[in-house]
Structure 1
Amino acid sequence: MADKRFNVLIIEDDFRVADINKQFVEKVDGFYVSKVAYTGKEALEYLRKSPVLPDLILLDVYIPDVEGLELMWEIRKTYENIDIIMLTAAKETETIEQTLRGGIFDYIIKPVDFDRLNKTLESLQAKKRLFNSKQEMTQEELDSFRGLSSSAVVADKPKSVSDLPKGIDRITLEKIVDVMLENRNQSFTAVEVGSEIGASRSTARRYLEYLVAAGQVKAELMYGDVGRPERRYALV
């Protein structure tokens, strides 16, 4: 199954900042911006009328026709399945704490750095993959996803085949983990990993993305002079 594409709504009153954020989002594989709204009224009207709701909203605290965090709370109350990332200049501890209580996915303080936003969007992708691949989660998996694990997750290999989702073979997974452990300070493309274990690029990528979703491996986009960016994988 192909990776899900994330539909993004940007709510930002400064058209120049909104355009930059749109460019940043669409540089990340799997994300596209369906709408930029410059006021709270425009955003809510779009959400009410759109036949397909966005998967993610990038929201500024300072919207001219909105008082404080009213728009965030309205979206959270009415559209509880949409993830929210705050992209804002607001640094007040009280504001940050309230948004975290509101269940936002992340809070990024302006000026927005592409690498920081990229990591957040890839983390959101990893969360969706992890949740879609499992009906239940262990405490260790949950802690690893939330960044609370105190030990190297790669060392905690699944204890049985039943721990793995459908389409992930234990032997192949262990081969990939071993390759990365032996070259702990390097990053790899799916092609390189596939070559090491005698598998196709698509197979290697499926396993690598599983490890990303499990919090064991991180993925980064490397931009060269020409062509599409290259996705490289390394141990967390």
Structure 2
Amino acid sequence: MSGSTLQAEETVLRVLIIEDDERIAEINRRFVEKVPGFSVVGIATDEAQALETLEVLEPDLVLLDIYFPDTSGLELLRTIGQKHRQTDVIMITAAKEVDAVREALRGGAFDYIMKPLLFSRLQETLLRYKAYQHTLLTLRQEKAGVSQEEIDALLHGAGKKEASSSGNAVSLPKGIDKLTLDKIVHAVLEAEMPLTAEQTAKRVGVSRSTARRYLEHLIAEGRLQADLSYGDVGRPERVYRKKK
């Protein structure tokens, strides 16, 4: 397949909602499915349903309440951490106790969001989680180890916020600068052919690893598309272009 490209399929992240109030669960479902790249695969309203659906569906992400008539969401969080290690959790709850927040974070929750849930707040977290997953996937595929900068980006992805042209707050992970991001976007959009991370780096004047991090962030945001390019020699290389 010399000189050809193979489109990389965008991973859809599978979400399970564990919430005892069916009305709130339905609202959460609608919110999640408004964010590109996420699909709700199930809703559980009690402990038995939660344990069964976790086992059967093996979701990527769980939206988890704390208060249930027959259990605690913090207990379910511990169970997920022990038995479903590939599943991440975002707490969505009315619990305001400091100890509950502390236990949720110590238990590995990706985020802790207070009710009543605002779509903008959930969207911010889901986009950050999507970027986190893309970064993990890229690091697994391309590197045997990670740098301190890359670890910092994973751990502190909540970073800063920049105002969009519409006036809404848009979350940018730590290590993603608005000016550099705009340069990366411009370089890819102006190119006649898809660009590799190295080609992008040369056009913008940054390192290859920096260019790749920004490009993967743009993939996670749905602003660019990644393909695999098969050259004459060597392994397939990831290339980036404007999303169709």
The within-5 A match list for 1:153-232 is 153=175, 180-181=182-183, 194-199=188-193, 210-211=213-214, 213=216, 219=221
Mapped partners of 1:18, 1:33: distance in 2: 11
Mapped partners of 2:156, 2:147: distance in 1: 14
Mapped partners of 2:100, 2:59: distance in 1: 24
Mapped partners of 1:95, 1:181: distance in 2: 42
* Structure 1 unaligned regions, length at least 5: 156-176, 183-187, 222-236
| 1:30 and 2:75 are equivalent in the alignment | no
Partner of 2:15: 8
SS at match of 2:10: coil
| Counterpart pick for 1:144 among 150, 153, 176 | 153
Mapped partners of 1:80, 1:179: distance in 2: 33
> RMSD across aligned C-alpha pairs, in angstroms?
3.5
Comparing both structures, which one devotes a greater share of its residues to strand?
A: 2
The number of aligned residues is: 186
* Structure 2 unaligned regions, length at least 5: 1-7, 161-173, 201-210, 224-244
SS at match of 1:27: coil
The alpha-carbon distance between structure 1 residues 8 and 209, as it changes in their structure 2 partners (threshold 3 A), is: farther
Partner of 1:173: none
Mapped partners of 1:20, 1:37: distance in 2: 14
Partner of 1:99: 104
TM, length-normalised to structure 1: 0.67
Mapped partners of 1:179, 1:98: distance in 2: 36
AA aligned to 1:196 is E
The alpha-carbon distance between structure 1 residues 179 and 4, as it changes in their structure 2 partners (threshold 3 A), is: closer
The alpha-carbon distance between structure 1 residues 68 and 218, as it changes in their structure 2 partners (threshold 3 A), is: closer
The Cα offsets for residues 120-148 of structure 1, whole Å up to 9 and x where unpaired, read as 11111111111111232110122133338
| 1:127 and 2:132 are equivalent in the alignment | yes
Identity score, percent: 37
Q: Is the 8 A contact 2:65 2:73 kept in 1?
A: no
TM, length-normalised to structure 2: 0.65
